[in-house]
């Protein structure tokens, strides 16, 4: 794939149905400065993605599962790879649970969540079974749901009240920074670039730029979306309802049209958008395992993880278990992105420096 396709693919997996359920947690810290929190989080998570790009570019033909064990030993490398696949695993489960729960609550009422999860996972597995060229083409088509989703989402402007977003100057920066951490549900999914990078062709435009553009667009979507949401239903309401975005959509009426239940249309567009993220994470998971274990085909690993994803997804069906899983996932992803990756990058640079010095001394 080209560098622009790489940027599109990496960032198309960011926006998912997870954000619908996480917004209330974020607002409980950042209050009406959700938009500012989203902007700062965009910068922070782009930095994490940038570090991953720099790490991946040191080894252009290899994935993380290949170069880390080779450079730092089998044990350390296996440990890092295990954390990496856990991150992808968590992303897939979060997406699955968020989308199926949303569907269950607002579209269907008597269908068991387990059935919805099976159907979704089978559809994801069907796509992951294809070669990457096909997956790339599917993503480029399904990503068109994003502007359509945003068109429906932006109807929340109709209830916008300026008073809800005041004051404009924040007086509790700590809360905003705390909210930044919870934005992992908004931005998680970029980790798959550690597996996708070797498949991309280095062109005239750098990967950092193309991924940067993608992050910028997604961040702007979140910033304006946050501004609109807070302006429409106020931060207090957002913090007290479980699905504030859907709550905001429910209050919209379009007089003179036959369109009712706008939130259903929005949820429909969340299906392909979340599907993209799940496919990318699952493909990265199976492809990463293939490269790590030196298999010929990534399809071998599809049936291996499917039952695990299913059982964990139905296990975390109570609010308490879901909260525990959510916090666990958040800390693992943050740990991987902001601790492990910088350490790896530092070690790689340090090793290269030593090698260079050794050559010069000779």
Partner 1 sequence: MGKATRSRLRKLSVKLQKQVQQIKDIGSAISGAIKNLRKARTLDKENFGFTKTIEMNEHLVRSALSCCDDVKYRQFRAGKAKALLVYLSGLTDTSKIETTVIECLTGRVEINESFVNINQITNLLITAANVTVVKKPAEGITNILKGNPLLIIDGIAEAVSIDAAKYEKRQITKAENEDVARGPHDSFNETIGDNIALVRRRTKDPDLKVEIFEIGARTQTSVALLYIDDIVKPGLTDEIRNQLLAIRIDKVILSANVEEFLSNQVWNPFPQTLTTERPDKVVAGLYEGRISIIVDTSPTALIVPVSLQDFMQSVDDYTQRPAVASLTRLTRYFAAFIAVFLPAIYVSIVSYHPGMLPSGLAFSIAELRGKTPFPALLEAFLMEGLLEIFQEAIVRLPQKLAAAAGIVGALVIGTTVVETALVNALLVVVIALTGLSSFSMPSYTFGMALRFFRVAALIAAAVFGLYGIGISFIVMVVFLCSLHTYGESYMGNLFDITLIKDWKDGVLRFPAEFLTSRPKRLGPKDKTRIGGED
Residues that bind partner 1 (CB under 8 A): 1-2, 4-5, 8, 103, 107-108, 111, 116, 119-120, 123, 126-127, 130, 133-134, 136-138, 140-142, 144, 258, 260-261, 264, 267-268, 271-272, 275
CB 59 within 8 A of CB 351: no
CB 241 within 8 A of CB 40: no
Our CA angle for 344, 85, 121, nearest 5°, is: 155
Residue 283 Cβ vs partner 1, minimum distance, rounded to whole Å: 12
- CA–CA separation, 313 vs 138, rounded Å? 25
């Amino acid at each position: 794939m080209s560098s622009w396709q790489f940027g599109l693919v990496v960032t198309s997996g960011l926006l998912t149905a997870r954000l619908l359920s996480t917004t209330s947690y974020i607002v409980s810290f950042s209050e009406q400065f959700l938009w500012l929190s989203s902007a700062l989080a965009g910068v922070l998570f782009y930095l994490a993605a940038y570090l991953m790009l720099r790490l991946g570019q040191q080894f252009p033909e290899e994935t993380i599962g290949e170069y880390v064990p080779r450079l730092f030993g089998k044990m350390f490398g296996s440990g890092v790879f295990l954390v990496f696949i856990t991150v992808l695993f968590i992303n897939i489960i979060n997406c699955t649970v968020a989308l199926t729960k949303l569907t269950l609550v607002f579209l269907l009422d008597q269908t068991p969540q387990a059935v919805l999860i099976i159907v979704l996972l089978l559809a994801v597995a069907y796509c992951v079974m294809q070669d990457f060229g096909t997956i790339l083409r599917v993503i480029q088509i399904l990503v068109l749901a994003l502007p359509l989703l945003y068109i429906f989402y932006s109807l929340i402007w109709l209830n916008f009240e300026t008073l809800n977003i005041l004051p404009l100057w924040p007086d509790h920066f700590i809360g905003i920074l705390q909210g930044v951490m919870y934005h992992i549900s908004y931005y998680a999914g970029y980790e798959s670039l550690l597996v996708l990078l070797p498949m991309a062709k280095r062109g005239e435009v750098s990967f950092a730029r193309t991924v940067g553009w993608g992050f910028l667009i997604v961040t702007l979507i979140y910033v304006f979306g946050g501004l609109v949401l807070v302006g429409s239903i106020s931060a207090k309401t957002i913090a007290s309802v479980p699905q504030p975005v859907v709550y905001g959509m429910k209050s919209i009426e379009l007089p003179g049209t036959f369109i009712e239940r706008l939130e259903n249309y929005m949820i429909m567009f969340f299906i392909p958008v979340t599907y993209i993220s799940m496919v990318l994470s699952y493909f990265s998971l199976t492809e990463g395992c293939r490269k790590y274990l030196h298999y010929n085909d990534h399809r071998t690993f599809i049936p291996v993880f499917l039952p695990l994803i299913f059982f964990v997804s139905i296990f975390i069906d109570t609010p308490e278990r879901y909260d525990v899983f959510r916090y666990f996932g958040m800390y693992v992803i943050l740990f991987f992105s902001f601790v492990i990756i910088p350490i790896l990058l530092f070690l790689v640079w340090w090793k290269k420096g030593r090698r260079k010095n050794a050559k010069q001394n000779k």
